[in-house]
Structure 1
Amino acid sequence: MFASERRKKICQMLMDYKSVDVSRLSKLFNISTVTIRKDLELLESEGILTRTHGGAILNDSFPQQEHTPDAVEDMCNPEESLIATIASHFIQDDEFIFLGTGSICTQISRILPEKKNLTIVTNNISAAIHLKKNPELNVIIASGTFGVYNGYYGVMDAFYTGFLDNMYFDKVFIAVDGISLNTGYSVDNSNLCLTYQNVCAKTGEVIVCAESSKFSRNSFARIGAPDLATKIITAEAIPEEYSDYFYSHNIPVYHSYRLDDIQAD
């Protein structure tokens, strides 16, 4: 996990709980307490928190609107931005697509306003707000329970309402929290997992977006097997065993921004 991504998650925890504990953060991110203290020191220098003995508390003087999902969105790291840029080139005019929730998919939505005559179904409220800046786009928000997931507004349980039952997508774009050759793709939210299982069954092209830190990692809820994806988009070279698996299953992996290769695909 990139340091910027880790600090973003620490900020989100401060928004939710008003305080954080160094030892718990160290165990959560599987890094040393020294590294966590450096993160807290940096966030303190930005006026976000005040360090305490063994942890930190959210500053009352720090404007609360700065802690909304909109502010977290602006903390997107370079790897996420690169993945979103690559992904955007697989979206064509006149398509019917599903766009998932989270940081990468929200960044994709910032690029999409250049497209025309797209129909985009999304459970990502933050993305929908960006997409509607272009009147050429037809944006449909999945129905369900509104909430916040990893700092982003979204609908996690669209599968419950039957909203997706009669839809078929040209392409489905999802960002995942874990990729494992043993268990496949996974996310941290069980309702979101069921929504993704639903939409992935309604398309011939599942495009999985993930930072390099998500490989060889299992998360809480399993979406499907490793061969569920038809394309993988990341920003760096992935472990060799993953490259071998995807190659043997004819699943292309894009981990650098080569526009000519993408357009020729």
Structure 2
Amino acid sequence: MLAAQRQHLILQEVHNEGTVRVATLAARFDVSEMTIRRDIDALDAGGLVLRVHGGAARTDSFSALEPGFANKSAFAQPAKAAIAAEALKLVRPGMTLLISGGTTTFELARMLPRNFDLTVATNSVMVASSLAAREGTGEDSGIRTLVLGGERTPSEALVGPLTVQAVSTIAADLCFMGAHGLDLQAGITSPNILEAEVNAAMVRASSRLVVLADSSKYGVVGLAGICPLSAVHILVTDSGIRAASTGALAALRKAVSEVRTVRLPNSRNGHAEPASVISPNPRQYQPPVPKGKAP
């Protein structure tokens, strides 16, 4: 087995179990413990796992640890792209959108149509950059972009009192929010207290909240709470949620107005299959009419 293949399997084991031991992995792959330590060192250097005494742990094992944007963007990328494509279906011409920081919301921002007369307010440096006009074209980006200033975090979000104040002046049709953690009891959480405050302000400033979270976020609890699951109007996730925990999808269906699960790209054509839309209660989401528009 090639080192890259073994490291991929180790990464899967870490994300499934939370922690792994060197001795256990060495026995499983029939290699020396030194070989496993080198694999863990390589994964740790890439920010994909945390090297701990005797093994490795998930990077979100510690509630206050905040991974950098580059490290997060490399994980579960096909799921994030499929989730973003499904969320894009909720966007209507003339809408005002709030978009939080995050790698999945970044994927969504890159897909936004430039001819919808959209206004986007964001605290994400990466989202704002993705909405800018292509350098050297001399063309307008087609999207009015409001950058909510503040202190920059490792995940390329802007946070702090200035950001919260700016968010309070916005009235958005939809808020698209990424999630560090998605838990039945803790709700939507972040490892950064200041970012959690900004995201909570975004929830208050929006008519509808759409959370974009791949299945690896299920059961993860960050340091600071943003909102309970009952505040989420639509959750867009991937079909891996069924394997994340027994009964996870059924529990989410009870807590959230609408759950959309996208099937991950298959090996035959590389494209995601259509989403499964589940609306278990009368609060089923209806796309809002943009402010100032007649029904």
For residue 159 of structure 2, the aligned residue among 156, 161, 178 is 156
Q: What CA deviation, in whole Å up to 9, does each residue of 1:152-211 have, x standing for no partner?
A: x22022565511222211000111111111121111111010001111012221111111
Q: Report the secondary structure of 2:220's partner residue.
A: coil
Query: 1:182-193 residue pairs with structure 2 within 5 A?
Result: 182-193=185-196
Contact 2:261 2:276 in 1 (8 A): no
Query: 1:214-253 residue pairs with structure 2 within 5 A?
Result: 214-236=217-239, 237-238=241-242, 239=245, 241-249=247-255, 251-253=257-259
Contact 1:93 1:118 in 2 (8 A): yes
Q: Report the secondary structure of 1:255's partner residue.
A: strand
**TM-score, normalising length: structure 2:** 0.63
For 1:82 and 1:208, locate their aligned partners in 2 and report how far apart those are by CA, in whole Å. Answer: 14
Q: Does 1:258 align with 2:274?
A: yes
Contact 1:159 1:198 in 2 (8 A): no
For 2:118 and 2:131, locate their aligned partners in 1 and report how far apart those are by CA, in whole Å. Answer: 10
Query: 1:119-138 residue pairs with structure 2 within 5 A?
Result: 119-133=119-133, 135-138=141-144
CA spacing shift, 1:195–1:71, aligned 2, 3 Å: closer
Question: What is aligned with 2:21?
Answer: 32
Q: What CA deviation, in whole Å up to 9, does each residue of 1:224-254 have, x standing for no partner?
A: 1121100011112444544334433562111
Q: Structure 2 counterpart of 1:84, which letter? A: A
Contact 1:235 1:255 in 2 (8 A): yes
CA spacing shift, 1:194–1:76, aligned 2, 3 Å: same
Q: Report the secondary structure of 1:139's partner residue.
A: strand
| Structure with a larger share of its residues in helix | 1
Question: What is aligned with 2:283?
Answer: none
Contact 1:123 1:158 in 2 (8 A): no
CA spacing shift, 1:231–1:158, aligned 2, 3 Å: farther
Question: What is aligned with 2:174?
Answer: 171
**TM-score, normalising length: structure 1:** 0.70
Could you say which structure has the larger radius of gyration? 2
Q: Which runs of 5+ in 2 are unaligned?
A: 1-6, 26-35, 47-53, 56-67, 134-139, 263-272, 279-285, 288-295
Q: Does 1:211 align with 2:214?
A: yes
Question: What is aligned with 1:10?
Answer: none
Contact 1:158 1:164 in 2 (8 A): no
For 1:76 and 1:130, locate their aligned partners in 2 and report how far apart those are by CA, in whole Å. Answer: 20
Question: What is aligned with 1:88?
Answer: 88
Shift of 1:114: 4.2
Q: Does 1:142 align with 2:148?
A: yes
For 1:198 and 1:87, locate their aligned partners in 2 and report how far apart those are by CA, in whole Å. Answer: 21
For 1:241 and 1:86, locate their aligned partners in 2 and report how far apart those are by CA, in whole Å. Answer: 23
What is the number of residues matched between the two proteins?
222
Q: What CA deviation, in whole Å up to 9, does each residue of 1:71-125 have, x standing for no partner?
A: 9756762112211221222222210011111111111111114452100000111
CA spacing shift, 1:43–1:220, aligned 2, 3 Å: closer
Contact 1:177 1:214 in 2 (8 A): yes
Contact 1:142 1:158 in 2 (8 A): no
Q: Which runs of 5+ in 1 are unaligned?
A: 8-24, 47-53, 56-67
Q: Structure 1 counterpart of 2:127, which letter? A: A
For 1:36 and 1:255, locate their aligned partners in 2 and report how far apart those are by CA, in whole Å. Answer: 36
Contact 2:87 2:236 in 1 (8 A): yes
For 1:200 and 1:84, locate their aligned partners in 2 and report how far apart those are by CA, in whole Å. Answer: 19
Q: Report the secondary structure of 1:101's partner residue.
A: coil
Identity in percent: 16
CA spacing shift, 1:258–1:31, aligned 2, 3 Å: same
CA spacing shift, 1:243–1:114, aligned 2, 3 Å: same
Q: Structure 1 counterpart of 2:234, which letter? A: K
